[in-house]
Amino acid sequence: MAAVVDTANPIHVRGLRKRYGNASVVQDVDLEVHPGEVFALLGPNGAGKTTTVEILEGVRRRTGGDVSVLGRDPAEDAPEWRARLGIVPQTTGAYSDLTVREVIEHFAAFYPAPLPVEQAMEMVGLRKQERKQAHQLSGGQLRRLDVAVGIVGDPDLIFLDEPTTGLDPAARLEAWELVRYFADRGKTTLLTTHYLDEVEALAQRAAVIVAGKVVEVGTVAELGGRRDTPAVVSFTRVGRMAGLTLPLLPPDALVDPSDDEVVTLHTHSPTQALAAILPWAAEAGVHELPDLRVQRPTLEDVYLKLISENQGADS
C-alpha cells in the first residue's frame, strides 16, 4: 500500500483539519516531507502555517486528518519521540536570571545524546556571551539562544518557525549555516519563513499555504509554474533600429505590441532570441542595446501571484 511508503517520510500529512468553533484555520492539508530535505512552508500571516507546524510538533491538537511525524502520531507526545525533534517556536522565549550556558545545559539534560554545549553555543554564535544572563542579551541574541535550545538535542527532524526574524544580516547567514549543518548530516528541516531569499538559499521544496489550504507544492525551482513561465527580454530601440521590423525570433516569442520604443518579448528561449536580436541591432549600427534586460520570474513574483490569485478566489 502507498501508505507504507508514505509513513517512511519524516512528515506525512493527509487531510489535516483544524477548526476553532466555526472557523476553519487549516483545511484538508496534505504534506509530504522527504528524509534529509529542507522543506519550506510559505504563506501570508494568519494562513495557518504556525497552526500546522504546532500540530506536527504535538503542541496543538488537530480536528481531523492523518498525521505521522517520524512514524508517530504527534498527539501521543511520547518522550522518546520528542528526543528526536528539535523545535524553535515562533515567539522568542525569555530565560531571565539564567546565563546562556546554563539555559543550554539545562535543556541538554533532557536529551539522551545532546550536542556538546560548547558546540551548540558555537553554532548559534553565542560563545562570547556564554556567561551573560538572558535578560542582558539583545533581541537577536535571544533568538539565537532559542535556536540553540531547539537544536541542542541533536534532532533528526527540526521545526524552525521563522527562525531568522529579527536577526541582522550576518546573524541570518549564521542561522543558514546551522540549517545546512543539519541538512548535510541527513537531518530533515521544516522551515517557516517570510524571507524568500531564505527559501531559495536553503530549501529544496516548498509548500504555499493560503487561508488554511495548500495552494502549491513543489521544488523551489518549479514553484508556481516558475519553470514554465517565459522569461522577459526587453530593450529600447534607438537610432536606425526604430524603423526596422524585428528579426526572426524563436517560435514561442510573444512581442508586446503596446510600446514601439521599448521592445518587450516573452519567450522560453531568451538566449536564442538574443542570438537573433544582437546581429540585427549590429546591422543597424547599434552595438550596445540600451536598457537590455533578461528577467526570469523570481520566487517572490511567483509567490505574490499565488497569494493574490488564491486570496481573491476566497473572498
Partner 1 sequence: MTTPDAAVARKGPAARTATGRGSGLWRASMARSSVELKSFFRNKQSLFFTLLLPVVLLLVLGSIFSGTVPGTHTDFKQTFVAGIIACGIMSVSFNGLAINIAIERDTGMIRRLASSPMPKTAYFVGKIVRVVVTGILEAVILLAVGVSLFHLPLPATTEHWVTFLWVLLLGAMACSLLAVAFSSVIPNARSAAAIVTLPFLVLQFISGVFFPYSQLPAWMQTIAAFFPLKWMTQGLRSVFLPADFAVVEPAGTWELGRTAAVLGAWCVASLLLTLLSFRWRGANVK
Per CB under 8 A, 315 contacts partner 1: no
CA dihedral over 53, 58, 64, 68, signed as positive or negative: positive
User: Least distance (Å) from partner 1 to the CB of residue 95?
Assistant: 7
> What is the per-residue binding string for partner 1 in 13-52, x denoting contact by CB under 8 A?
----------------------------------------
Per CB under 8 A, 133 contacts partner 1: yes
Judged by beta carbon, residue 80 or residue 261, the one nearer partner 1 is 80
User: Least distance (Å) from partner 1 to the CB of residue 298?
Assistant: 35
User: Least distance (Å) from partner 1 to the CB of residue 98?
Assistant: 6
> What is the per-residue binding string for partner 1 in 150-179, x denoting contact by CB under 8 A?
---xx-------------------------
Q: How many residues bind partner 1 (CB under 8 A)?
A: 39
Report which of 100, 167, 174, 168 is spatially closest to residue 136, judged by C-alpha positions.
100
Interaction with partner 1 in 56-75: which residues (CB under 8 A)? 57, 59-60
Separation between Cα atoms, residue 312 and residue 315, nearest integer Å = 6
Per CB under 8 A, 125 contacts partner 1: no
As given in the structure block, the three cell numbers for residue 313 are: 478566489
Binding span for partner 1 by CB under 8 A among 4-12, 78-86, 160-168, 200-208? 78-86
Separation between Cα atoms, residue 149 and residue 107, nearest integer Å = 6
* Long-range contacts of the stretch 120-128 (C-beta < 8 A, 24+): 120/148, 120/151, 120/152, 121/148, 123/148, 123/151, 123/177, 123/178, 123/181, 124/148, 124/174, 124/175, 124/178, 125/171, 125/174, 126/100
The DSSP letter of residue 25 is: E
Judged by beta carbon, residue 87 or residue 307, the one nearer partner 1 is 87
Per CB under 8 A, 201 contacts partner 1: no
Q: What are the phi and psi torsion angles at 128 (to 5°)?
A: -70, -25
Please, which residues have CB within 8 angstroms of residue 186's CB and are 6 or more apart in sequence? 35, 36
Residue 190, strand partner residues: 39, 159
Note the residues at the interface with partner 1 (CB under 8 A).
57, 59-60, 79-85, 87, 89, 91-98, 102, 105-107, 109-116, 118-119, 133, 149, 153-154, 185
